[in-house]
Structure 1
Amino acid sequence: MFQQFFTPTVQHTLDLMGIFVFAISGALLAVRKNFDIFGIAMLAEVTALGGGLFRDVVIGALPPAAFTDLGYFITPLGAALLVFFLHPHVERIQSAVNVFDAAGLGLFCVIGTTKAYTYGLGLTASAALGLATAVGGGVLRDVLANEVPSLLRWDRDLYAVPAMVGAAMVVLCIRFDALNPFTAGVAALTAFALRLLAMRYHWRAPRAWNRRSSGVEVDEATT
């Protein structure tokens, strides 16, 4: 499976890179919400590790990797400290952070799907957990920050859909016995590219067909 395609050192490095970038996004939201240092650290940890924790608990991979590898726990704290002291500079490179976040999305949806399948889940359930691995931390982040999760908002660029596509590609490769380093990489790159295109062209999911009115129209009607 995908975890076996790289040496443990390379796999660990990739995991930490994805965790670090997700933690940056959580810490930045905490700063915008005017949270204190504890709140910044909490949102960084939850965003970085929430999806993986959920996956590991569901598949029975206990204790979760986040509690057995100190690096997984320390990395979000490092990201939180970086944002705490240098958030104006981090905000200025937000576009670069978004690119790395998209890379983490592609990587984690593939890793999550293959790990779930390795632990005996079916193809559909494995794809669902791959999606949860990629986006679960962001959902928890938004809930803790008292916001509607970004992946549920029509006015946000596609985020869950690229992860769904990547996970679906992985399970199709498993189904036809075609999962290998190349096809796993293609799945991750496809999710990555779709997320970048969604940010570039502001692709959004469709809303309900034949809506009677939008929120803006309702507001205007009541003023």
Structure 2
Amino acid sequence: MAIEVFDTPGLLAQAVARRLAARVTEAVSAGRTPTVVLTGGTIAGKIYGELAHDADWRAAEYWWGDERFVPEGHEDRNDRQAREGFLDRFEVPAEHVHAMPAHGCDQSMAEAADAYAETLPDDPFDVVLLGVGPDAHIASLFPGHPQVTETERRAVEVFDSPKPPPQRISLTYPALNHTRATWFVVSGEDKAEAVAKAIGGAPVEQAPAAGARGLEETVWFLDRGAASRLSS
């Protein structure tokens, strides 16, 4: 595990954008289709805004760690943020964008979660991006909720998210940890306690972020605020 601390959220976003471009380029050069799991939130939006024409973003395929089960195009959708932030800007082909089902589809949430799991690649993802909440949740895996202990299903329905909206679909550890690299991207002093708990090895039932890790690489990208409770 590595920890990288940046003075500002802007510098954090620039660094992650550069690193993601390099990782996508590396996969393309190796003759592979880059596979990336995206996240939502303010710092994710900053990262997407920093992405430039320094990688073949059209060559990659994209999934999401979780999604709010609201209608397609709703402002709360993580996929809308990513489409507006960079997918549409780089004209990523529709078949490379694996959005989670939306409210209004002809499936129950459980059926939608299972259907989404079927879209996941057999090989490990290249990169999973994860934000962390003030309660140390990742994706829609929340402290004390049963989804944290799921070991078989790769995507699950969430009916009672403590953070609105309450209905969501989330990848689980069997999917999130099937990745070459896990990158936590965390900004703000309000996340500092959660970061310290997760890095300090708190039980996953208390700090779900503690249960996520890459097969080859796990990096915490933090700004000064998010890192403020780490011991030096």
Q: Same fold (TM over 0.5)?
A: no
Whose helix proportion is higher, 1 or 2?
1
Looking at secondary structure, tell me which structure has more strand per residue. Answer: 2
TM-score (norm. length: structure 2) = 0.31
Larger radius of gyration: 1
